[in-house]
DNA sequence: CTAAATGCAAACTATTTGCAACGAT
DNA sequence: ATCGTTGCAAATAGTTTGCATTTAG
């Protein structure tokens, strides 16, 4: 882990809001004036791949970055009733965006046919 | 409604899949070779604004377009309990994509503070 | 007639990439 | 010495925009 990568990760983790790559870049330049945008993007991609940072896709706007959190929801099999946990990272943001409201929390249950039942 | 606009709308409505602007443009050129990409984008924007066409935002990929459908969910005020209806077009697709499962249906309730309560 | 819409091309935004220099093992 | 990483600048992808011309109402 290079100091650039460390710096970028620290900025994301320390941010009170969800910063964009550009904002992270601006912030990083204060500590390390020579850092390049390309480096920020490259490292964000790497950090997202390793799961250290979470990317939030925002339609018609630059992506935002955040530390990962692990909420989870349930998928219920319509056939056998088995419950699977699913990690629905980013759903709250999707709901906020789709409703255009400051959604605080939500209750969600999904229904499907589980892999086992699907094979019979 | 110009013939370009009509053509674009028809293409979206006739498409078996969810076409991108580029695909719509290619398809439109077959009927009207002089049509410009800019026209396709401008009309798609207009059609989306008027509700005649639905835009599907896809992370890291061109947006797709579809005819609109109107499911709806509830937003409940945590303060006064008032219920607002919201149109959550595209949520099922988001859930399918996020869970990587063939979600059949879902139950969703969201909580927020309604505009009236927010102002007191 | 005239306001809105078009075609064309250039501009823009967010992000990615090629490459030579750099830096940590 | 080596291999990943950097800074820089140019490239890319998707979309938007300015402008002179055309078209629909």
For residue A70, which residues of chain B lie inside 8 Å, CB to CB? none
What's the whole-number average pLDDT of chain B? 87
Domain boundaries, chain A: 3-66, 73-118
> b/e string for B50-88 if b means 16 or more Cβ within 10 A?
eebbbbebeeeeebbbbeeeeeebebbbeeeeeeeebeb
Distance CA(B28)–CA(B18), nearest Å, equals 15
A/B interface, count of CB pairs below 8 Å: 83
Q: Which long-range contacts (CB under 8 A, 24 or more apart) does B55-59 make?
A: B56/B18, B56/B90, B56/B93, B57/A57, B57/A59, B57/A60, B59/A57, B59/A63
B 26-45, residues with C-beta < 7 Å of strand C: 32, 34-39, 42-43
Beta strands in chain A (DSSP E): 54-56, 64-66, 73-77, 83-86, 105-112
Q: Is the CB of A109 under 7 A from strand D?
A: no
pLDDT at B99: 84
> How far is residue B89's CA from residue A25's CA, in Å, rounded to a whole number?
34
CATH code assigned to B3-66: 1.10.10.10
Q: What is the mean pLDDT of residues B49-62?
A: 86
C-alpha–C-alpha distance, residues B103 and A114, integer Å: 10
Estimate to the nearest angstrom the gap between the alpha carbon of B84 and the chain centroid: 20
CA–CA separation, A16 and A13 (whole Å): 8
Give me the pLDDT at residue B120, please. 64
Element (H, E) at A37: helix A37-49
User: C18 C1' – A59 CA distance, angstroms?
Assistant: 29
For testing contact with chain A, the best of B55, B68, B106 (most A CBs within 10 A): B106
Chain A residue at shortest CA distance from B85: A99
For residues A74 and B73, is the Cβ–Cβ distance under 8 A?
A: no
pLDDT at residue B69 in the model: 67
Residue with tokens 């390049």: A36
User: What is the structure's pLDDT at A10?
Assistant: 95
Question: Is B101 in Cβ contact with A112 (below 8 Å)?
Answer: yes
Say which of B94, B107, B112 has its CB closest to residue A104: B112
Q: Find the range with the poorest average confidence among A26-35, B6-15, B38-47, B83-92.
A: B83-92
User: What pLDDT score does A53 carry?
Assistant: 92
Interface test with chain B among A101, A109, A114, A117, by most B beta carbons within 10 Å? A101
Is the CATH number 3.40.50.2300 carried by domain A73-118? no
Confidence tier at A79 by pLDDT (50, 70, 90): confident
CA closest to C1' of D15 belongs to: B41
Label residue B29 by pLDDT band (50, 70, 90).
very high
Q: How confident is the model at residue B100 (pLDDT cuts 50, 70, 90)?
A: confident
């Amino acid at each position: 882990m290079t100091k650039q990568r460390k710096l970028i990760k620290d900025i994301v983790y320390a941010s009170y809001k969800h910063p964009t790559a550009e904002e992270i870049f601006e912030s990083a330049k204060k500590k390390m004036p020579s850092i390049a945008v390309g480096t920020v993007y490259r490292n964000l991609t790497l950090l997202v791949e390793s799961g250290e940072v979470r990317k939030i896709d925002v339609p018609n706007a630059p992506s935002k970055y955040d530390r990962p959190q692990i909420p989870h929801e349930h998928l219920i099999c319509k056939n056998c009733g088995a419950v699977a946990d699913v990690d629905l990272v980013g759903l709250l943001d999707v709901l906020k965006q789709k409703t255009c409201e400051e959604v605080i929390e939500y209750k969600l249950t999904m229904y499907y046919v589980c892999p086992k039942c699907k094979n019979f």
